[in-house]
Structure 1
């Protein structure tokens, strides 16, 4: 076989390797981004939950049974 055929085959193999490598790196970055956004979302939900619980407790404290006649 001529030498240029070996170069073409080597190019195809290296291209396939780089494609797989890049896809894995992109997937890792995407998963890290998704996890970070999920953590931000969960933190917002927890804060909203605390605010609602604080509001409910404050509303219950405002209505005092001894003041109602």
Structure 2
């Protein structure tokens, strides 16, 4: 068994946590996915709100009319 001495300067308010690297990486992965889905949820909410407010264009009869609306 390995014994480590950790300076008290690194431990403030009992906030030191030791994790195996694989556990740490999996936690990072979950955290990034959570942020990703929160952003998607926010974007979806904003899109639905804009739809309800009538801020939509389309449907388009042709690609040309779609392009024209995007240029404006």
Structure 1 length-normalised TM: 0.51
Query: C-alpha root-mean-square deviation of aligned residues, in Å?
Result: 1.9
Structure 1, gaps ≥5 residues long: 1-16, 19-26, 64-69
Higher RCO by CA contacts (8 Å cutoff, separation 6 or greater):
2
Larger of the two Rg values belongs to structure: 1
> 2:38 — aligned with what?
46
Deviations 1:3-57 (A, max 9, x none): xxxxxxxxxxxxxx58xxxxxxxx7100000000100000000000000000000
Runs of 4+ in structure 1 deviating by more than 6 angstroms, as ranges, are none
Structure 2, gaps ≥5 residues long: 3-18, 56-72
> 1:30 — aligned with what?
22
- Name the structure with the higher helix share: 1
